[in-house]
């Protein structure tokens, strides 16, 4: 009985022994059991390059400790910790663990944020920049900023100088382009482009029915045959797009010429009114 | 007295000049004799002028020119400032870009950069082959070059 209790105690002791000794133990067991063994201890799995872990101890200060005072602004450790946590996405949370050089950067950034936070904003109508003499007011920059940051930042005055410069550059682009376009396009060119845009806009809003297109086809067919009885008339389906375009043009002209007041100066300088508003050209 | 007469004469001269240059008005919008003659030059193959045109011919011509005048007026009034700006800038940009020549080599460089950036950003969008994207990349480069040049000469003052 005494013997069996002793054996149980021994096996329990063996089971509880640290696993760290396994490599060495296995290697020793192999030497004893393996006939081909050269009788050497295998140390392959043991790291010999490992350096002892640094045991630097940091002086951990309380969150309310004032770590720096810049122009009356007292920076507490918890502010720096929160900033660090945010910029490192949670990787670094303790200001006291940073080397001196990095601490200085953190303080500089915190001062910058504090200054911008407490900077007084100008009124929305304040001129914040000029581009080729054209004024940009704060309201424009604010709304541009809001759009660019999806509503996260909306005050131009809260940006630092570098950011302000970049934003103004972005805002300046269309202004510079507009003034260049104004200088380089003739009145006729501008008129032509705007007319084209207006017509396209009208066209997209006009509906054309099959009946209207068919009526125009028949009208044109009759005209062609009247002028030349042997004229070859293309099938209706092949000129659908052209007919649609013509119907639209007629509709636009009709709309424009409705109630139009035309005055013509004839050769003898007598003025005659012409009110044939429904004439389709 | 002499001064008054001179002023009166000048006024008359001014009035007759205005009458002579205006061929017609459409809803108050002026069609000048010059514009009428330009249209006639094309229509009559240089055979007819506003002065020689009979009254019914003038009426016909003005009615023909009226819609175009009305379209211009409607475009001026109905298009928003933004629409006008976009249209005019677009036209000018296209014209400027057509005068530029961007090499395939340059386009390829930009393409590779874009491809690398997309890979770095782990973009799931399929990147088209260079041959398919070439033209649009060339346009982007041209547009950027034009804008960079414009911005270089811009006078920007931040207050």
| CB atoms B87 and A184 under 8 Å | no
Burial category of B150 from C-beta neighbours within 10 Å (exposed 0-12, middle 13-18, buried 19 and up):
middle
Instruction: Count CA atoms closer than 13 A to A141's CA, side-chain side.
Output: 29
Complex ipTM: 0.77
A71 — pLDDT class (breaks 50, 70, 90): confident
Tell me the pLDDT tens digit for each residue of A228-252.
Answer: 999 999 999 999 999 999 999 999 9
Average pLDDT rounded to a whole number, residues B36-58: 91
Radius of gyration of chain A (CA): 44
Residues A232 and A270 in one domain: yes
Does A274 sit within 8 Å of B59, measured CB to CB? yes
pLDDT at B104: 93
Q: For position A60, what pLDDT does the model report?
A: 79
Are both B116 and B54 inside the same structural domain?
no
Residue A5 pLDDT > 90? no
Is there a single domain that holds both residue B25 and residue B67?
yes
**How far A119 CA sits from the closest chain B CA (Å)?**
15
Confidence bin at A115 (pLDDT 50/70/90): confident
Taking contacts as CB-CB distances below 8 angstroms, the residues of chain B near A267 are: 51, 55
Record: contact A264-B87, CB cut-off 8 A: no
- Residue B124 pLDDT: 82
Residues B63 and B126 in one domain: no
What is the per-residue pLDDT for A45?
A: 55
Domain boundary among B20, B53, B78: B78
Is residue A260 in a domain? yes
Range of the domain at B98: 81-152
Contacts of B24 in chain A (CB under 8 A): 262-265
- B94-130 per-position pLDDT tens digit: 999 999 999 999 999 999 999 899 888 888 888 889 9
Nearest by CB to A197, from B70, B87, B156: name it: B87
Which of B58, B12, B110 is closest to A266 using CA atoms?
B58
pLDDT band at A49 (very low <50, low <70, confident <90, very high): low
Tell me whether residues A274 and B63 touch, CB distance under 8 A. Answer: yes
In this complex, do B151 and A169 lie within 8 Å of one another by their Cβ atoms? yes
User: What distance in Å separates the CA atoms of residue A256 and residue B64, rounded to the nearest whole number?
Assistant: 12
Q: Are A265 and B27 within 8 A, CB to CB?
A: no
Q: Is the sign of the CA dihedral A245, A249, A251, A252 positive or negative?
A: positive
Mention every residue, 6+ apart, whose C-beta is less than 8 A from residue A98. Answer: A84, A92, A106
Q: What is the pLDDT of residue A34?
A: 53
Domain assignment of residue A111, given as a range: 66-118
**Residues A213 and A251 both lie in one domain:** yes
Question: Which of these three, B78, B101, B131, is where a domain ends?
Answer: B78
Q: Is residue A153 part of a domain?
A: yes
CA pair distance A90, A83, nearest whole angstrom:
10
Q: How many domains does chain A have?
A: 3
Closest alpha carbon within chain B to A179 = B89
- Whether residue A219 has pLDDT greater than 90: yes
pLDDT at A279 over 70: no
Q: Do residue B68 and residue B124 come from a single domain?
A: no
Is B52:B9 a contact under the CB 8 Å cutoff? no
Instruction: Write phi, then psi, for A265 (nearest 5 degrees).
Output: -90, 105
What would the mean pLDDT of A21-44 be, rounded to a whole number? 51
Boundary-marking domain end, from A138, A156, A184: A184
- Render chain B in DSSP notation, one character per residue: -HHHHHHHHHHHHHHHHHHHHEEEEETTEEEEHHHHHHHHHHHTTT---TTTS-HHHHHHHHHHHHHHHHHHHHHHHHS-HHHHHHHHHHHHHHHHHHT----HHHHHHHHHHHHHHHHHTT--SPPPPHHHHHHHHHHHHHHHHHHHHHHHT--EEE-
* Inter-chain CB proximity B67 and A253 less than 8 Å: yes
Average the pLDDT over B84-96 and give the result. 94
* Per-range mean pLDDT, top range of A14-23, A95-104, B77-86: B77-86
Whether residue B52 is found in the same domain as residue B95? no
Q: Does B113 touch chain A (CB under 8 A)?
A: no
**Which domain-ending residue is among B78, B105, B136?**
B78
Domain-located, residue B158: no
When pLDDT is cut at 50, 70 and 90, the band that residue A118 belongs to is: confident
Least confident interval from A51-55, A102-106, A196-200: A51-55
Pairing mode, strands A127-131 and A73-76:
unpaired
Confirm if A126 and B150 have CB atoms less than 8 A apart. Answer: no
Q: Which of A215-219, B5-9, B55-59 has the lowest mean pLDDT?
A: B5-9
- Residue B61 in any domain: the answer is yes
Contact A194 B84 (CB under 8 A): yes
The minimum CA-CA distance between A191 and chain B, rounded to whole Å, is 6
Nearest CA in chain B to A177: B89
Question: Which of the 8 DSSP states describes residue A19?
Answer: G
Q: How many CB atoms lie within 10 A of CB A180?
A: 21
In-domain check, residue A223: yes
Same domain, B113 and B67: no
Q: Are A133 and A74 part of one and the same domain?
A: no
Which residues, in sequence order, are CB contacts of A264 under 8 Å at separation 6+? A271, A272, A274, B23, B24, B58, B59, B62
Residue A96 domain flag: yes
**pLDDT greater than 90 at residue A141:** yes
- Looking at the structure, do residues B9 and B33 belong to the same domain, yes or no? yes
Q: Cβ(A104)–Cβ(A147) under 8 Å?
A: no
Closest CA to B66 of B100, B40, B27, B102: B27
Q: For residue A188, give how far its alpha carbon lies from the nearest alpha carbon of chain B (Å).
A: 10
Residues A112 and A148 in one domain: no
Q: What is the pTM of this model?
A: 0.61
pLDDT given at position A13: 46
Q: How many domains does chain B have?
A: 2
CB-based contact A198:B74 (threshold 8 Å)? yes
Residues A153 and A89 in one domain: no
Is the pLDDT assigned to residue B15 strictly greater than 90? Answer: no
Do B19 and B43 lie in one domain? The reply is yes
pLDDT at A270 over 50: no
Contacts of A91 (CB under 8 A, 6+ apart): none
pLDDT tens for A160-174 read 889 999 999 999 999
Residue B52 sits in a domain whose CATH number is 1.10.8
Nearest CA-CA distance, residue A123 and chain B, Å: 13
Do B45 and B105 sit in the same domain of this protein?
Answer: no
With beta carbons under 8 A apart, name residues in chain A contacting B151: 169, 172-173, 176
Tell me how many degrees the CA angle A31-A33-A36 measures, rounded to the nearest 5. 65
What is the rounded CA–CA span in Å between residue A183 and residue B89? 11
Q: What is the pLDDT of residue B20?
A: 52
* Higher pLDDT among residues A114 and A34, named by residue: A114
Phi, psi values for residue B25, rounded to 5°: -125, 140
- Within 26-45 of B, beta carbons closer than 8 Å to A belong to 26-28
Angle between helices A100-118 and A77-87 (to 10 degrees): 100
Name the 3-class secondary structure at A48: coil
Interface of B with A in 51-110 (CB under 8 A): 51, 55, 58-59, 62-64, 66-68, 70-72, 74-76, 78-79, 83-85, 87-89, 91-93
**Quick one: B52 and B18 in the same domain?**
yes
Band the pLDDT of A20: cuts 50, 70, 90.
very low
A158, A184, A210 - which closes a domain? A184
């Amino acid at each position: 009985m005494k013997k069996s209790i002793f054996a149980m105690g021994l096996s329990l002791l063996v089971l509880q022994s640290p696993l760290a000794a396994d490599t060495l133990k296995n290697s020793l067991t192999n030497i004893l059991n393996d006939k081909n063994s050269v009788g050497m201890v295998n140390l392959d799995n043991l790291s010999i390059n490992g350096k002892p872990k640094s045991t630097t101890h940091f002086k951990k200060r309380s969150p309310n400790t004032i770590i720096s005072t810049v122009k009356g602004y007292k920076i507490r450790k918890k502010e720096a910790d929160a900033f660090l946590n945010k910029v490192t996405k949670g990787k670094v949370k303790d200001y006291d663990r940073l080397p001196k050089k990095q601490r200085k950067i953190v303080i500089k950034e915190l001062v910058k944020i504090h200054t911008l936070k407490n900077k007084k904003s100008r009124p929305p109508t304040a001129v914040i920049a000029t581009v080729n003499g054209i004024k940009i007011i704060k309201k424009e920059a604010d709304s541009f900023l809001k759009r660019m940051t999806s509503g996260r930042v909306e005050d131009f005055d809260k940006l630092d100088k570098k950011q302000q410069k970049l934003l103004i550059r972005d805002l300046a682009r269309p202004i510079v382009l507009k003034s260049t376009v104004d200088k380089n396009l003739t009145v006729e060119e501008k008129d032509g482009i705007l007319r084209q845009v207006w017509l396209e806009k009208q066209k997209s809003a006009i509906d054309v029915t099959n009946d209207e297109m068919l009526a125009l086809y028949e009208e044109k067919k009759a005209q062609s045959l009247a002028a030349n009885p042997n004229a070859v008339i293309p099938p209706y389906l092949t000129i659908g797009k052209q007919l649609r375009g013509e119907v639209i043009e007629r509709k636009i002209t009709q709309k424009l010429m409705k109630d139009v007041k035309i005055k013509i100066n004839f050769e003898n300088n007598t003025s005659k009114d012409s009110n044939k508003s429904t004439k389709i050209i | 007295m002499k001064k008054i007469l001179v002023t009166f004469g000048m006024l008359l001269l001014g009035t007759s000049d205005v009458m002579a240059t205006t061929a017609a008005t459409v809803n108050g919008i002026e069609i000048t004799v010059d514009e009428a003659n330009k249209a006639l030059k094309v229509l009559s193959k240089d055979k007819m002028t506003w002065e020689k045109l009979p009254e019914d011919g003038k009426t016909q011509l003005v009615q023909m020119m009226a819609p175009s005048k009305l379209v211009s007026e409607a475009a001026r009034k109905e298009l928003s400032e933004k629409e006008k700006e976009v249209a005019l800038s677009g036209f000018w940009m296209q014209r400027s870009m057509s005068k530029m020549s961007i090499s395939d080599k340059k386009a390829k460089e930009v393409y590779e950069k874009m491809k690398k950036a997309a890979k770095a950003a782990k973009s799931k969008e399929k990147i088209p082959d260079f041959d398919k994207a070439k033209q649009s990349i060339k346009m982007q480069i041209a547009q950027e070059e034009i804008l960079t040049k414009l911005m270089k000469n811009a006078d920007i003052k931040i207050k």
